[in-house]
A and B are shown apart, each in its own frame.
Chain A
Amino acid sequence: MTARRRSFLRKIIYGTAILPLLFVLHWLGSPSTLDTETAKGSRGGVLAQQREKDKLAQVYYGKIDPTSETLKLVTLGMRGIAADILWIKGIEYQKKKDWTNLSATLNQIIKLEPNFIDVWRHQGWNLSYNCSAEFDDYRERYRWVIKGIDFLDLGTTYNEREPRLLRDIGWFIAQKIGRSDEHRQFRRLFAADEPFHKRIGKHVRIREGLGPDGKPDNWLVGKLWFRKAEELIDSGGVSPRGMNPLIFRSQAAMCQMNCAAALEQDGVFGDVAQWQWQQASKDWDAFGQFAIATSKDWAVRLGQFDQLKKNRQKVLDRLDALAPGVREKLYKSKLVSLTDEQRKARATPGPKRTSEQHMLAAKAEALLEVRPYEIARNRDMPRENRPKAKELLEEIVKLDDRIGITKSYRGVVNYDYWDQRAKIEQRKEMITARKLVYEGGEELAKGNLSSAASAFADGSRAWYRMLREYPMLMTDKATIDDIDELLEQYGRALDQDDKLFPYDPDDLDNPRNPRNFALAQFVRAQVKDSNKMHRIRLNRKKAEEAEAAGDLATASTFYEKELHNWRGLIADLPSLEQMSDRVTGELILAAIRKYAEVLTKLNQAIPDDFVLHRFVRVQMEHDPETHRAQIAMEAAQAAMEAAQTASEKGQSASQKEHLAAARKAYEQGFALWRSVLERYPTLVADSTLGEELLVVIDEYRQLLDQQQAQMPKDFVLQDILDRYDQP
């Protein structure tokens, strides 16, 4: 075969092979065409039909940008690589804080990858959260948060059917602006940012997001974006794409809750705050009625939990009615089978149970529960009722399944808590409590200490009433934070006014007594719930055991450990230092006295670095005995000055009289100080006080010199002299 012929044959073979491929290509890739006047359009090849079916055509995404399309073309299919290179450049620019080039690079990346959602989401987050944090000026930070939001907003024009971007915008506007460290400043800037409002006003009805001051509120505007994302999904054909529907659907309602809370933080109370919380409650109820798809063949509505339980009870009653007396019989038999420990645990009232008893009681209650199948399958169930009982049992099982899943879903979004919270917060009493605390804070900032303290005291009482009415608040983190802030501010106001938290010594444990600090029991509850309390008790027990056994060294070690634990607790609840709960405060003082007593028995001095010096000093400074001692010392010093004046005038008789009066006052003062030191024995080791007392003792010595007298042998503050009067 000649070369020419071989070449010809090869061409024939290639041509023959290509021909079927062309048919395949046509079948797969021929484009769809529209109907014209003269001819009917075609649905196109497989790919075109699939694209149409899954709405993958470019036109379905959103805006078609000629720049972007041109760039995609000129990169000749290498746009992924080009975007990667730009991405790396962007990282480098960000590292070198070259914000202008970073922004320019991001603009180029999105031109290359306009429909790559993660690019928008990642870089939007990067701008709003990472880049903004690089700036020191909060106004710049806000500008970069907005840049991130604008970036996402641009993304929505290229990807109109992408709920994740809408959700992210909602999240950034709500959470980033409303929850940052600079949330007060950010919210203020957001409310005044008219150009931004104008920009987003093209996508959401910004008028619906106005706060009480008539300016957009970030939480309410965020809510609008969440609603927009919800509407997009509800309009059909768009999937939530990886977003947990439960969390996603709760976000708009949560925005309303946060808005109401933020307004109160900003000092907006009264009807406005109440209306916002009422709205929050409505939104939450609406969320509770929304059907959330599950992996089962039915949807969950969080708000139907109580109804489901009622339904179950009704079915259960019908089951019981089929076999009267069976439930009681079963219960009795179960009760008999309980162990003695379980019975004892059940009989012990809740607050008095040990942790072990709590477990035993819980186990006993579980054992006592009569399960529906035990009734349905019981021998005593009349034969004729058994088919019906089986039917009811199946119904109960189904309801249990629904109840279980609904309960679990409610737990995910903390449904009960927010439901209750919204209802409680709209109560006038609650709004008053918050308002009083806010006013106290304002007065404190102005330096009006007595007005501040008065407002805080009223606020504390209002809070006490709410806590009494809604005990669930005692364990609510947000409430605990709010009250901690109240305690901190109230404590600051009292401290600046040189006072401790108020109390009535004759009616200490009565929170309704207006002379007592109303939230003392709340503080005590916090102390009780603290994990440090367990260690305090344990160390105390070991110390007492060692002391009883005569091992004082070990006892002192454990007492010292106990005091360390108390110090940790005071660090957690700083208001304790100012006796926000006097019962706990006295416990700490008792522990300190016990420790000092053991050290005295051991003939050891209180260490200089005693852990609770600060606490003791605060108590000492506010003790009436200390006050009397100080008055006595001042009187002595005044008499000394008078004696000096008399001496200068040459009035020796008068000088002697004044010296005698001074000596008497000094000795009275020393006696009072002795009494203070007995009450707070560790004060001996407080070098600041020691040095102060030494100065006074020196004055007394000078007085004695002038009287040509000697220091008394049984001088009451000899221990202070021994400790601090070093040559």
Chain B
Amino acid sequence: MVIETEQLPFHEWILWAPLTWLLVVVVLFVVGVFLGSLVAVVRHGPARGLEMTAKVLHAAAGDLFCMSPRRVWALGWLAVKDSLRRRVVVVFILFVVLLLFAGWFLDPGSDHPLRLYISFVLTATSYLVLLLMLFLSAFSLPTDLKNKTLHTVVTKPVRPSEIVLGRMLGFAALGTFLLALMGLISYFFVVRGLAHTHEVVVGSLEAINPGDDTARGDVPLKGKSTSVNNHRHDVLLGRKGRGRLEMAQDHFHRVESRQQGDKTVYEVGQPEGMRVARVPVYGKLRFLDRQRRLADKGINVGDEWSYRGYIEGGSLGAGVWTFEGVTRKQFPERIQLEMTLGVFRTHKGDIEQGVTGTLLLRNPKTGLTVEAKVFAAREFSTDVHRLPRKLTPRNVYYLAKEKDSEGKVKYVREAIGGNRKPQYDLFDDLAEDGRLEVWLQCLDPAQYFGVAQPDLYLRARNASFALNFIKGYFGVWMQMVLVIGFGVMFSTFLSGPVAWIATVGMLVGGFCRGFVLKLALGETYGGGPVESFIRLITQDNVVSDLPEGLRTTVAQTVDAVLQRGLWVIAQILPPLGEFDCANYVAYGFNISADWIGQRGLTTLGFAVALLVVSYFFLKTREVAK
């Protein structure tokens, strides 16, 4: 699975993320207090103004920290009832209708049908729920204010913070209920949509071992299945008539045979192995050049998409993954290494043979290196290598780390001499303290392997697919909470349509946050806004430098200022794109606790900040005073 942005471990993320949050909150708070005080001072004079500011802050502390859960519950329930009155059930009906007709567009005969189905249900759910919440949250308060129904609430002893929180929680509860319902239906839709069986083509069955008498009935057989959903399987039957339909379209079927009169009947089960949630252990990737020196990145073979770096074949070049925590506990029986490689050929070579490569295991502490496997690469598919605990390698040597004359880190091969053992233990000899290096090399000269960090991982175990599916919906839920937060916040001081537009802007900005950040950091082609504008009107391309001179200097100086502003905006924008975890579920990768923890805390951080901001905005409204 492609992961273009590296996922930090939680323990690293937690060191800086809360601090950044705190910094932004403090800055916003200081700016808010300063502006509020300024307005108060201008309107009421310095002494009175400052006193009023202090009073507001004091009241805010009370309102925010002394909320009554009972009142919040009541207000939340009111929001739910209000939403139900607005016919939110229509969205649910729409969802069901979409699922009913989804079969028209989804092709169960695709190469990876589960990916299509999962992407569809998660995308459809997220679009519908986000749109619904966008409307509800943005129009709810302004409509109440317009209809003066809110006045009946504020006449009661409720705090403005309770009104805001009640709304947020009410909408969130309703959304949660809808999401849960949609998730449940989606799960059955996916399972049902992909359910199928095949029949064994009896005429195709033949003995695996030539010379076996197939008429005897208890010999191993191979054959073909019928074609269903645009695929067929190879059939392998054991001596007892049990076997399986081999992997195709990411799944296999179990098959059993039984005698019915003088006929053998084959019963094929439902697809298996399709709905998985692999738990991967990712390593840190570094590249080595053709002289086995550490390189900044892999070779660029001219691919437009620079996600993968390439390793030169027939040279000392390698991709080196360093794994942590490779312990007996995590891998009790063996290490299952899975990889997805890109292959680039500079000449045809042997068309019928895949490009060959080798996997080396190196002990980072001692430099002991063993050749674990020589393989023929399979592109665009997950290549599984099971490494037993006891390895009997053909090649063993030391790869010592040293620095060359230019100060670059280089690995030098040293013979093992008389220290060679007949067998090497994965944990005793190679991953002594849980650290293990996996080296990938391409053996064929002038051919290349393309890899990115997530392309090679150790598969620890399988998690529950159903739970992973729920986690996928949790990602949508967090997006929904953020939309509700922003919608309610904007609706506290803007009219309904304007609040809606502002929330949509925030939504779009949130989904495009990565691009905005790139713009802010000057990582896009064509420069900042002014420079881009100049290029537009002069019809200049985006790559060449602008001619030096006053115009360029002024443009780039203004851009630098604008880009800083853009950076601040990018920091405030919710990273909605990062919450999308449909690919994890679709590609069969477990959504880690790290992922959930980081996104969960981010959502909480935004929710708290939005609650406080919403409170202050509502407080400024006449009705809440």
Q: Which of A66-86 touch B at CB < 8 Å? A: 66-67, 70
Known pairs A136-B343, A136-B377, A140-B380 / 16 extra A-B pairs, C-beta < 8 Å: A67-B101, A70-B101, A70-B104, A96-B307, A97-B380, A98-B2, A101-B115, A101-B119, A103-B107, A107-B105, A108-B105, A111-B105, A135-B379, A135-B380, A138-B351, A138-B352
Hey, which chain B residues are within 8 Å of A181, CB to CB?
Answer: 348, 351
Hey, which chain A residues are within 8 Å of B107, CB to CB?
Answer: 103-104, 107
Hey, which chain B residues are within 8 Å of A103, CB to CB?
Answer: 107, 110-111
Hey, which chain B residues are within 8 Å of A100, CB to CB?
Answer: 110-112, 115-116
Q: Which of B94-151 touch A at CB < 8 Å? A: 101, 104-107, 110-112, 115-116, 119
Shortest CB distance A485–B (Å): 16
Q: Which of A100-155 touch B at CB < 8 Å? A: 100-101, 103-104, 107-108, 111, 135-138, 140
Query: Chain B interface residue count: which class?
Result: 20 to 34
A104 to B355, CA, bound (A): 30
1/0 per residue, CB under 8 A from A, across B256-297: the answer is 000000000000000000000000000000000000000000
Q: Tell me whether B379 and A104 are in contact (CB under 8 A).
A: no
A196 to B125, CA, bound (A): 37
Hey, which chain B residues are within 8 Å of A67, CB to CB?
Answer: 101, 104-105
Hey, which chain B residues are within 8 Å of A185, CB to CB?
Answer: 351-352
- Whether a CB of chain A sits under 8 angstroms from the CB of B46 is no
Hey, which chain A residues are within 8 Å of B354, CB to CB?
Answer: 136-137
A29 to B345, CA, bound (A): 59
Q: Tell me whether B355 and A136 are in contact (CB under 8 A).
A: yes
1/0 per residue, CB under 8 A from B, across A171-200: the answer is 000000000011001000000000100000
- Whether a CB of chain A sits under 8 angstroms from the CB of B65 is no
Hey, which chain A residues are within 8 Å of B2, CB to CB?
Answer: 96, 98
Hey, which chain A residues are within 8 Å of B232, CB to CB?
Answer: 195
Hey, which chain B residues are within 8 Å of A195, CB to CB?
Answer: 227, 232
Considering the complex, give the chain B residue whose CB is closest to the CB of A138.
Answer: B351
- Whether a CB of chain B sits under 8 angstroms from the CB of A99 is yes
Hey, which chain B residues are within 8 Å of A66, CB to CB?
Answer: 104
- Whether a CB of chain A sits under 8 angstroms from the CB of B548 is no
Hey, which chain A residues are within 8 Å of B355, CB to CB?
Answer: 136
Taking a contact as CB atoms closer than 8 A, the residue among B111, B304, B345, B352 that contacts A95 in the complex is B304
1/0 per residue, CB under 8 A from A, across B347-367: the answer is 010011011000000000000
1/0 per residue, CB under 8 A from A, across B568-592: the answer is 0000000000000000000000000
Q: Tell me whether B111 and A99 are in contact (CB under 8 A).
A: yes
Residues of A at under 8 Å CB distance from B?
A: 66-67, 70, 95-101, 103-104, 107-108, 111, 135-138, 140, 181-182, 185, 195
Taking a contact as CB atoms closer than 8 A, the residue among B307, B345, B351 that contacts A182 in the complex is B351
Hey, which chain A residues are within 8 Å of B345, CB to CB?
Answer: 136
CB pairs A–B below 8 angstroms (20 shown): A67-B101, A70-B101, A95-B305, A96-B2, A98-B2, A100-B110, A101-B115, A104-B106, A104-B107, A107-B105, A135-B379, A136-B355, A137-B354, A137-B378, A137-B379, A138-B351, A138-B352, A185-B351, A195-B227, A195-B232
Considering the complex, give the chain B residue whose CB is closest to the CB of A186.
Answer: B351
Closest 5 CB pairs of A and B: A136-B343, A67-B104, A136-B379, A100-B112, A95-B305
A616 to B227, CA, bound (A): 63
Q: Tell me whether A96 and B305 are in contact (CB under 8 A).
A: yes
Hey, which chain A residues are within 8 Å of B307, CB to CB?
Answer: 96
A107 to B343, CA, bound (A): 27
Shortest CB distance A228–B (Å): 24
Considering the complex, give the chain B residue whose CB is closest to the CB of A103.
Answer: B110
A103 to B115, CA, bound (A): 12
A112 to B136, CA, bound (A): 32
A100 to B351, CA, bound (A): 25
Hey, which chain B residues are within 8 Å of A111, CB to CB?
Answer: 105
Considering the complex, give the chain A residue whose CB is closest to the CB of B116.
Answer: A104
Shortest CB distance A77–B (Å): 20
Hey, which chain B residues are within 8 Å of A107, CB to CB?
Answer: 105, 107
Shortest CB distance B105–A (Å): 7
Shortest CB distance A236–B (Å): 35
A96 to B304, CA, bound (A): 9
Hey, which chain B residues are within 8 Å of A96, CB to CB?
Answer: 2, 305, 307
Considering the complex, give the chain A residue whose CB is closest to the CB of B103.
Answer: A67
A108 to B106, CA, bound (A): 9
Shortest CB distance A340–B (Å): 59
A76 to B101, CA, bound (A): 18
Q: Tell me whether A104 and B351 are in contact (CB under 8 A).
A: no
Taking a contact as CB atoms closer than 8 A, the residue among A97, A101, A108, A135 that contacts B305 in the complex is A97
